[in-house]
Structure formats: C-alpha cells, structure tokens
Structure 1
Amino acid sequence: MQSSDLMPFARRAMHLARTEFAALGALLIIAFGVMTFVEVADDMTEADGQAFDQMVLSALRPFADDPGRPWGPWWLKEAAADLTSLGGISVLTLFAAIVIVFLISQRKRLSALLLVLGLIGGVALSEGLKAFFERARPPAVYQATETLNASFPSGHALLSAVFYLSLGVMLTRAFPEKHFKAYVLGVAILITLLVGLTRIYLGAHWASDVFAGWSVGAAWAMALWLVSYAVERRQKTHHAALQDAPSPTTEGGAAVLSE
C-alpha cells in the first residue's frame, strides 16, 4: 500500500469502527433492556419488590388526610400532569404524524416506515405485556390522574422510550458536530425520563412498572435502529427503492437532513 493510500484507508477504517461500535452498543442495550425487564418482572411478584414500590408510593404521598395529594407545591402536580401527556397515545400519534410527513417529504421512506412499525410494535408490546401480567394499578385513592388498563409495564414509559429515543437517534445522524448529537440525544433521554417519573409521581404506576417500560422501550428502539442499519446497508448495495434518498439541499448545497 502506497503512502498516498494510507489516509483514505484510515478514514474508511475509522468509519467502519464507529459504525460497528454503534451496532455493538445497540445490541448491548437490547440485551440489558431484556435482562432488566425480566429481573423487574420477577421482583414485582416478590415481597422485596412490592415493598419497594409501596415505599416509593408512600414517600410521594406524605399527607395522611389527603392521600391523593402528591408531595410538593400545587403547581408541581399541574406540571406533572402536563408533562405526562407527552407519553400519551394521542400526543405521540400527533407527533409521529408530523415527523412521518416530514420524513416522507425528505424522501426518507425507510425511516418513516420504521417509525410507523416501531410505534405499532410498541403499542402491541405494551398491551400484550399488560394482558399477560394483569397487574393492578396503585390504589385509586393515591392516583392523581385517570388510568384505564393494567399497570405493568407502563405504556407511557414504554412508548415514550420508543418514540423519543428513535427520533433522537435519527436526528443525531443529521448533525456532524458531536455536541449537537449529544444535545439531541440528551433531550430525547430527558423527555423519556420525565414521562416515566411523572407516572410514578401522579400515582398512575408503581415504580417497577416504569422501570420495566423504560427497559422494553429502549430495547425495542435499539432493535429498530439495528433493522434500519441492516436494511440500509443491504439496499445501498443493491440500489433498492426503499432506502432513504438524499435529502433536498439548500442553495449553498448543504443537506437539510443528511442520513
């Protein structure tokens, strides 16, 4: 190999190392998420796990004369009620529709399809697991918000992890600067955490329900990313039609959204 070929070779090697490292990281997150869910599901049926859930619930309900009133000032409950809606199916459907239309307009058909399948799969996972475990919600006297179905796992925590983490990972590919990548992914993680924590604070779920929802949602989001990665590599090799096309460019030639 001539010295003039060393730099292009080094760049290709570094790119491959970063890509494969990301795929390995996604696999580790999937494995960790599944193991965490299994552990939490096992603990919730045991005395220690139930005692932990009750301790968290009691700590957030210190007013014996008003058990439905959570700890903190009055506005904190209102803020939590607003934030928890970010994981609701209506809000997520609206946000997903906006994002999907944008992706299609940018000719990102593969990303749009995977986001749709991700949310549908997330809902199926949530409802299927709820039907399987059939765990009761915290007592109604402690609940500061309306609830509908079984408690384990938290659907809000699961679906917010699927949507916001998938969107965050997708957006990180649009920014070459590392600090922008970190910011976007950090915001996605923050929203996911806030949705889950508000479910506990409002008494809608036991703490273990939220931990389980986060673990399943993160694992599912990373599984979607792996599918996207594998499909894109195969389709770019075979020039298939479904792959994400280059985004429209600005007058200066910079890509609006480059994947």
Structure 2
Amino acid sequence: MRALLLTLACALAGTAHAAPVKAFMSIIIDDLGQNSERDSRTLALPGPVTLAVMPDTPHASDFARQAHKAGRTVILHMPMDPATGPYAWHPGLPIEELARRLDAALIKVPFAAGVNNHMGSRMTAQPEAMAWLMGELQRRELFFVDSRTSAATVAAAKAQETGLAHVSRDVFLDDVRTPEAIEAQLRQGVELARKQGSAVLIGHPYPQTLQVLEREMPRLASQGIELIELRQMIAERSNQAMPAHGRHGRYSNR
C-alpha cells in the first residue's frame, strides 16, 4: 500500500510539472521589399518566419534572393483590389490580363513558394477569378495563403475545392501599431493555437512589431508553442478550415 501511494504521489507530481500540450504557430511578415533596413531586421527574427515580398517595391528581387539563400520561405505578396499599381488585380480584368500580371509579379519575386493577397477585399470576393488563380497555382506547384482581408473572401474556399495546398490567416498582429496592442494580439494567437492546435499570424515590418517579435518569439516555446514553417502548417491543417472560417472543416463562403 505504501509503495502504491508513493507511486501515485510521484505520478501526480509529474503531472503538475508536465510541459503544456504542444501547439503550432506560423508567422508571416507582409509588405517586404520596400526598406532594406526593415527587411534585414525581419530576416534576422529568431525563428521560422515566412517573408511575403511585394512585387512593386525597389528591393523585391534582391531581398527575395537574399531570404531564399538564408533558408527562409519566400512568398509573393500579390496586390489585389483595392491595391493599385502595375501588378494589381481588379474585378473586371480579363483572365488573360490577370495571368500576365501574375507572371510578371512572380518574375519580380524569385523563389516564391506560394502567394498571399495584399489587400484584396474586393478581389478575393470574385469566385471566377479566385477559382482560376487556385488552378493556376496548382499548375505551378505553389501554395496559397488567404490573408482574409474581408469576411466575403472566397479565396480559401476555391483553394479547398481545387485541392490546392493552402491555409487561412487567423490573427493580424498589428492593425494597431503600439507594442501593447501587438503583444495582446500575439497573446490571442497563443490562446488560439492552444485551443485549436494551430494559429497563423500575419504582421508587418513596423518597428513596433519587430520589437515585440524579437523579444517574444524566444519565449513561445516555454508557453507550449512550437513555431513551424508555413509548409509544415499547411500539412498540419490538411486544407481544412478552422472553426472561425467555416464548419466541419469546410469554408463558409463557397
């Protein structure tokens, strides 16, 4: 009996000090290619971070090459309406013009493993264009990240219908550009990852965002969070919608 009680006590003590259940997080930083100093600081973040490079920026090609050489995942941050510029997609443009702009943007951002939308609240709500895009990315063996800049997006739903490797964003880090607000969003990401097993966060190379990430990323492991590459997150989610984006793994907007 004494031996049994000792065994139970040891088991309970072990449970009390057990590490938290592991949850996964991926972080994407958008709008890169504009400023060499911010780009370099982003590249130096302590952990796997996906780097979304805008094609219509002065350092897009050079930074994409630099990031790829450093072993980071590079994706094309594709401008979509209401974004403007020579690469931007707009409702009403013929598929041939959308294809031309996508081709040009991918040339400008070498080594892109996938695409996410820059802005795009109007464009990602266009079923025909989004269906074409997902088929084209499938042909090119690229993945897609729905930044979810609008609740009306059908982008991830079309990716799911196509069978294209994809994920959807869960949390924006820096809609409010103060360290306190960004820390609160990061905590929201941690809580969500613990609740649903994973979380995808998107931020920008603002000084406040980089300051918070530089300090907090090394602390995530002690909170039971494992930072993973975006490709691993795609595999982890297996093209399923998270509860905030749909029901029973299927996206609500179809």
Does the TM-score normalized on the shorter chain lie above 0.5?
Answer: no
More helix by share: 1
More strand by share: 2
Q: TM-score, normalised by structure 2?
A: 0.29
* Greater relative contact order structure (CA < 8 Å, 6+ sep): 1
